[in-house]
Amino acid sequence: MRAAWKSDRGLVRENNEDSVLVDAENGIFLLADGMGGGPAGEVASQLAVTTAHGALRPLFRDDGLQVEAVPRLLAGVMATVHSTVFRKTLAEPALAGMGTTLDMAIVRGETVVICHVGDSRVYLYRQKRVRQITTDDNYAAVLAASGNVAPHAIPAHYRHILTQAVGVSDELVPEFHTPNISPGELILMCSDGLTAALTDPEIGEVISRNEERFDAIPTALVNAANDRGGPDNVSVVIIDPLPVRIQGPPKGVLLIR
């Protein structure tokens, strides 16, 4: 497999509250978008990805692990992260109320397993277009799913009212997906700084223009979001689980803020 990534503060926010952790050697990809006053969002997102990676890495060293077991393991890891972030707020009152989104993408052979909480997104890029795999955990998505309110009539700020987040929700119900991937198709993980600035067709167009320069895709997406005013932190991870020409994953683990 191969992967590329970028995280950027944007043009409006003072801090970058996103965290990305890429461990392509073990097929572990994590993206979190923190929330909370002061430094709390940064603390929550970084704690989420480091805790998740610490729990996941020993599990996926087992070459005999069956793909069917991965969602159950991810559910356990998500619960561990949720508890860890919450306990941190109890230990440090200044961090009270902090939370984070968390998307986990696990690549095992030709299979990708996704575990999702929050309003960061995971997309499948196929035939020059992106298709959203995950469902936003926010009030706008609830209204859209109800069918009682037309999408264009939903107030924009409802996108920022989360219905669940790691570390703050009383009960966490992660969403799982195992999309079918063919050679040439890509997985895109992103924080809402990208989707607040670009529509899905625009995201697909940027990827398509840079498809032959795989490593340039994240920078191109971040630049496109910043060209629209950079209203939020923006983080992007692009994964090619079944590359045609690239053999072997890059080595090592990278945590970026």
N residues, the chain: 257
pLDDT number for residue 249:
54
What are the C-alpha distances in Å from 87 to residues 47, 111, 178?
A: 11, 34, 31
Q: What is the pLDDT of residue 118?
A: 97
Q: Do the Cβ atoms of 203 and 188 come closer than 8 Å?
A: yes
Q: What is the CATH number of domain 2-256?
A: 3.60.40.10
- pLDDT (tens digit per residue) in 72-99: 999 999 999 999 999 999 999 999 999 9
pLDDT of residue 250: 55
* pLDDT tens sequence across 116-143: 999 999 999 999 999 999 999 988 888 8
* pTM of the entire predicted model: 0.92
* Cβ atoms 100, 35 nearer than 8 A: yes
What is the spatial distance between Cα 57 and Cα 31, in angstroms, rounded to a whole number? 16
Q: What confidence score (pLDDT) does residue 246 get?
A: 45
Inform me whether the pLDDT recorded for 247 exceeds 50.
no
Write the CB contacts of 130 (distance below 8 Å, at least 6 apart in sequence): 123, 124, 188, 200, 203, 204, 207
How does pLDDT run across 222-246, given as a tens digit for each residue?
A: 999 999 999 999 999 999 999 865 4
Question: Tokens representing 234?
Answer: 């923006």
Tell me how far apart the 2 most distant CA atoms of the chain are, in Å. Answer: 51
Nearest to 224 by CA among 243, 254, 247, 200: 200
Take residue 126 and report the two structure tokens written for it: 């196929």
For residue 190, what are the β-bridge partners? 121, 236
Query: What is the percentage of the chain residues whose pLDDT exceeds 90?
Result: 76
User: Which tokens hold the place of 148?
Assistant: 């009682």
Instruction: Find the range with the poorest average confidence among 16-25, 145-154, 245-254.
Output: 245-254
Q: Is the dihedral of CA 168, 8, 105, 175 positive or negative?
A: positive
Rg (CA), the chain: 17
Alpha-carbon gap, residue 16 to 70, rounded angstroms: 31
What does the pLDDT look like over 184-193, one tens digit per residue?
Answer: 999 999 999 9
What is the chain's mean pLDDT, rounded?
92
